[in-house]
Structure 1
Amino acid sequence: MSSLSELQEKLLSWATSDTRKEELLAARRDWFDRHGEPHEEDKSFETRMNGMLDYYLYDFRPTGSNETTVELFMREVGPQLTTDDLAIYRVLAKSVHGLFEVKKIKKGEVRLRDVFTDVVYDVTERRQMLGLEKGDILEARLLPHEGRLFFSGAFLYHPQEVRKLILNEVKRQKKEAGKGGPPIDVPGFVASLSRMALKLERYRNVKVESLYDFRPEARPLSTPPPRSRGEG
């Protein structure tokens, strides 16, 4: 049986081949239009690129298709896979992407709460996640494998200073939806937070609370270009 990293590499290699270039570019445009486009100078460049690739593999549906990239992969490549590997891909296709609060940290495991659904997830994490603390709010994708959950390479932290602002806005949206208001656009909210976090990286002299402003009348700042290397 192949390892999780080997299976992901096989999926990514197929999905980024020349024959699927248009689908990849469409997914990239869609993701960055909503989440903000990073540049190599940004500190979060790598994790944001990973987030885009995760979206392309597990959520994106090419025009005219009801299947995600991983589902298309299983249909086309499935006959060449072992029964065990195909079963793993079917489970991987159920990955969870969302906004989470860190509830508990212990050696080898992080307990998360989905801030919208209140579902609790125990995530296996052998690496030491520097700076991660109880109460942190983060955007992440959880990959199911062999009965456990693992972080993908895309997690985006939001500052502790705006933790209460974010949770209060989630509470407000849930209350409004419960009173017959419009359904909560969770992906849209997560994307808006991602844009706010990117602006925070670039507007270093602006108060964080000014960027994480959820009032309807708040005028969003446009995302400035990244600072060039060497700028203070």
Structure 2
Amino acid sequence: MEFQGYIERLKAVFICEKYDAEIKKAKQEFIAHGGELGNEIDGYEEALDIFFDWYLFERPQLREGLTPLILFSRSNDLSDEDRKIYSDFLAYTHSIFIIRKSASNVKVMDIFSKKKYLVAGVPAALLEKGDMAEARLLLFRGEYRFSGAFCFYPESIHSIIKTEAAQARKTGAENFLPLIRKFRRLKTVWSRCSRMDVKKIYTLMEEGRLA
């Protein structure tokens, strides 16, 4: 089975009617963390992809206290080979990446750690050199692959992200999730107030004067 088949198999198990109540609660939590899922927002499909990516890979299920990925990796229904695949997925890297080179294998750099990766299996039309996007890297049979959910940042926001990432490294931060959520929120707010300077919007958000 190819990479996308493993992703779709995980989705099929945990994104279904059986988990409707769990997904509803997860959406409430996602919004409480600053995410938005209203179908009237710009980039609704992108936001929905990011939500389900978080739901599958990061959010513990209420009853078991484990993420869907962990639960599935422990399933008795998996072959040894498939269990190894899903266990490797557990060592994911969720970050904001800058695209350094777009070719058959895409070269990306983690904006926070400065670590570089070669990523396989990326459609040529999806990414261009200089793009910046929130994404999740998974290890698949010795190669890095994107999970498939992206939050692309307009160039006007790049300098803010780079500055904040550099400051986070300087202070020795290890958990960058709050920053990732903040930048995602900035993009959403700016899409509604696009006539305002994005740096002004960011300042107002930091001062608590704009939600």
For the residue of structure 2 that corresponds to 1:212, the secondary structure is helix
Q: Which moved more, 1:88-97 or 1:185-194?
A: 88-97
Report the alpha carbon displacement of residue 98 of structure 1 after superposing the two structures with TM.
0.8
Which of 73, 83, 88 lines up with 1:86 in the alignment? 83
Aligned mates of 2:67, 2:136 — CA distance in 1:
16
Report the alpha carbon displacement of residue 144 of structure 1 after superposing the two structures with TM.
2.0
Decide whether aligned partners of structure 1 residues 99 and 6 sit closer, same or farther in structure 2, where only a CA change above 3 A counts.
same
For the residue of structure 2 that corresponds to 1:48, the secondary structure is helix
In structure 1, runs of 5+ residues without a counterpart are 223-232
Aligned mates of 2:141, 2:209 — CA distance in 1:
43
The one-letter code sitting in structure 2 at the alignment partner of 1:153 is G
Give aligned-pair identity as a percent. 24
Number of aligned residue pairs: give it. Answer: 211
Aligned mates of 2:181, 2:9 — CA distance in 1:
28
For the residue of structure 1 that corresponds to 2:203, the secondary structure is coil
Aligned mates of 1:26, 1:47 — CA distance in 2:
20
Aligned mates of 1:52, 1:19 — CA distance in 2:
18
Q: Which of structures 1 and 2 has the bigger CA Rg?
A: 1
Look up the match of 2:73: 74
The one-letter code sitting in structure 1 at the alignment partner of 2:43 is S
Q: Does residue 114 in structure 1 map to residue 114 in structure 2?
A: no
Q: Does residue 30 in structure 1 map to residue 19 in structure 2?
A: no
Aligned mates of 1:184, 1:214 — CA distance in 2:
26
Q: Would you say the 8 A contact 1:193–1:212 is kept in 2?
A: no
Decide whether aligned partners of structure 1 residues 146 and 47 sit closer, same or farther in structure 2, where only a CA change above 3 A counts.
same
Written as runs of structure 1 = structure 2, the 5 A alignment for 1:6-45 is: 6-45=5-44
Cα RMSD between the aligned structures?
A: 2.3
Q: Does residue 186 in structure 1 map to residue 176 in structure 2?
A: yes
Q: Would you say the 8 A contact 1:38–1:44 is kept in 2?
A: no
Aligned mates of 1:17, 1:137 — CA distance in 2:
32
Structure 1 runs of 4+ off > 4 angstroms? none
1:32-57 Cα distance to aligned partner (Å, 9 max, x none): 32242133233311121111111111
Aligned mates of 2:136, 2:150 — CA distance in 1:
7
1:97-144 Cα distance to aligned partner (Å, 9 max, x none): 111222222x2222111122222111124412357332x322111222
Aligned mates of 1:94, 1:160 — CA distance in 2:
30
Q: TM-score, normalised by structure 1?
A: 0.80
Report the alpha carbon displacement of residue 16 of structure 1 after superposing the two structures with TM.
2.2
In structure 2, runs of 5+ residues without a counterpart are none
Q: TM-score, normalised by structure 2?
A: 0.87
Q: Would you say the 8 A contact 2:56–2:67 is kept in 1?
A: yes
The one-letter code sitting in structure 1 at the alignment partner of 2:61 is P
Which of 195, 217, 227 lines up with 2:185 in the alignment? 195
Which of 180, 183, 196 lines up with 1:206 in the alignment? 196
